[in-house]
Amino acid sequence: MVLALALGLALSVAGCDDDDEYHYVSENCDVVDLGEEERYELCCTLRCEGEYDWDEYHEHCSAEYTCTDSTGDSCPREIIEFYGYPECIY
């Protein structure tokens, strides 16, 4: 009886799909306020996707760096060079 129960459990587990996919987004931003309505936001957005498949693990991440001023326009290159982007946070 115990053997039959163990065999049944093993067969039911073997039929299960153990794949788990995930997507992850993390954003880290720094604000530079130079006064007189001169404000900039430098950000790193990290996007990851991966899959767990039984005992295997695969992940791919990509980082996107942005810098915008208070009106939503792109930052001057000098701001990016001087202050730099913040680190991407996983």
Domain of residue 53 covers 19-83
What pLDDT does 55 receive?
79
Provide the domain count of the chain. 1
Place of tokens 């693990």: 57
Determine the Cα–Cα distance for residues 37 and 76; give it in Å rounded to an integer.
15
Query: Which residues fall within 8 angstroms of residue 79, CB to CB, at 6 or more apart?
Result: 32, 40, 42, 67
For residue 6, being part of any structural domain is answered with no
The CA-CA-CA angle for residues 25, 60, 82, to 5°, reads 60
For residue 5, being part of any structural domain is answered with no
How many Å is the maximal CA-CA distance in the chain? 81
Q: What is the pTM of this model?
A: 0.70
Element housing 65 (H / E)? strand 56-69
For residue 2, being part of any structural domain is answered with no
For residue 29, being part of any structural domain is answered with yes
What pLDDT does 28 receive?
97
pLDDT in tens, the chain (90 residues): 433 434 344 444 444 455 688 899 999 999 999 998 899 999 999 999 999 888 788 899 999 999 999 999 999 999 999 999 999 998
